[in-house]
Structures are given as C-alpha cells and as structure tokens.
Amino acid sequence: MYKTAGVGWRFDGCHAGTVSAAVNELAGFVAFAFVGTVSPGPNNAVLWASGLSFGFRRTLPHVLDTALGMGTLVVSVAAGLGALIEAVPAAEVVLKVVGSVYLLYLAYRVATSGSMTPTRVSGPLTLWQAIGFQWANPKAWIFVIATVATFLPPELGRVVGVVLVTATLMVIVVGTSSIWAAGGAALGRLIQDERRRRALNLTLAVLLVASVVLIWG
C-alpha cells in the first residue's frame, strides 16, 4: 500500500520489477493496438470514404466516436461479455450475422456517397452509428477480446488495468482513425472529378463486402 513520508509518497511493497513489467506490457500493448487499428479493415475503409466524400473536419466527430465505441467495447468485454460470446456458440453466430448485415449496409452507403448531387449526398456516421458499428464489427470484437485477454496488467488491479487499457486504446484509435480520414480527405482534394470519386468509393465498398466474406471464411 501507499504510505506518506513527509510531504511525498513512498511505495511500500511495490517492487521495481513489478513496475517494469507493467511498463513493458503497456509498451507491447501500444504496438499491438497501433498495428491492429491502423491496418486496413471495415472501420478504416469507412473513415477513408468519409474523408474522401466529406473532408476531414466533418469526419472528425466520426473519428472520436469510433474511439468512444472501441472504449465501450473494451469495458464490456472486460466485464464478462467477451467470455459469454466465446462460451456460447450461438452468440458468435448472431454477432456474425448482425455484423455482416451492418457491413453490407455500410458498403451500400459508401458506394452511394460519391455523387456530388446534393439530394444524394449523405453525411458521416453519427455518434450512435459509429459506436454501433464497433459493436456490430466482428473484427473489432476479435481485437478487443484479444486485448483484454492478453494486455490487462494484473499488477495494477482489474479496475485500474481496464481504465488504463481503455484510455490508451482510445488515444491510439483517435490517431490511427485520423490517419485514414485525413488520407481520404487529401485524396478528395486532389480528385474533384465525380466519376473518379465514385470509382474510389465503389472500390472501398467492394473491400467492405470482401470483409464480410472473410468473416465467414
């Protein structure tokens, strides 16, 4: 426990090796989370398409909401929801079905977002759509379950560990999501031709459909 010593603090029973282990685990998690969230996938395809069609500024709330959605997923999995899904095969099937339907819906939305016609232009994902996407995204579930199972630091206690991992992941997701959104926005500034924009969005939509095939592969 912590004990006061004058005006400072000293650690009673906290060994340097324990702190070092926690730091090493955190560093490993940062690398794992960065690679896992910056790699191509449904989230980043939608962020790219949103940046391309609506610009980075309008897509920024979507970036922040994606991080928030991942954070709520980590907390829920750490609370036991992940173990339930792994233990009940039917729950995994339901997750795949719901996720596949939602990914196909987003593929349609991405494919039809390239038109410059005002009556056909939609906006970026809303708060609840972005959060709901994380819950319907099987890739996000696999990533978060692996995160909770591997990187929660037992040295810090369950609650502190969950808070630390959740906060760290949300910061990383903001960074990696911003990369994709900014990349789409930069490409959007270069490509003003409506036909080419539509072709790019159709390509991203095909990638989303392909990710549905991989879910069931």
Q: What is the pLDDT of residue 41?
A: 83
* pLDDT tens for the chain, residues 1 to 217: 333 344 333 334 445 556 666 677 778 889 999 998 998 888 898 898 889 888 999 999 999 999 999 999 999 998 887 677 667 777 777 777 877 888 888 788 778 765 444 334 467 888 998 998 898 888 888 889 888 888 887 766 778 888 999 999 999 999 999 999 999 999 888 877 777 777 877 888 888 888 777 777 6
pTM confidence score: 0.76
Closest CA to 136 of 97, 169, 107: 97
Q: What is the pLDDT of residue 119?
A: 36
Q: What is the pLDDT of residue 66?
A: 95
Tokens for 42, please give them.
């449904």
Q: What is the pLDDT of residue 64?
A: 96
For residues 50-73, one letter each, b for 16 or more C-beta atoms within 10 angstroms of the residue's C-beta and e for the rest, the string is bbbbbbbeebbebbbbbbbbbbeb
Q: What is the pLDDT of residue 142?
A: 84
Q: What is the pLDDT of residue 39?
A: 86
Q: What is the pLDDT of residue 171?
A: 97
Q: What is the pLDDT of residue 177?
A: 96
Q: What is the pLDDT of residue 2?
A: 35
Q: What is the pLDDT of residue 12?
A: 43
3-state secondary structure string, 5-49?
Answer: ECCEEEECCCCHHHHHHHHHHHHHHHHHHHHHHHCCCHHHHHHHH
Q: Are 187 and 52 in contact (CB under 8 A)?
A: yes
Distance (Å, rounded) from C-alpha 74 to C-alpha 140? 10
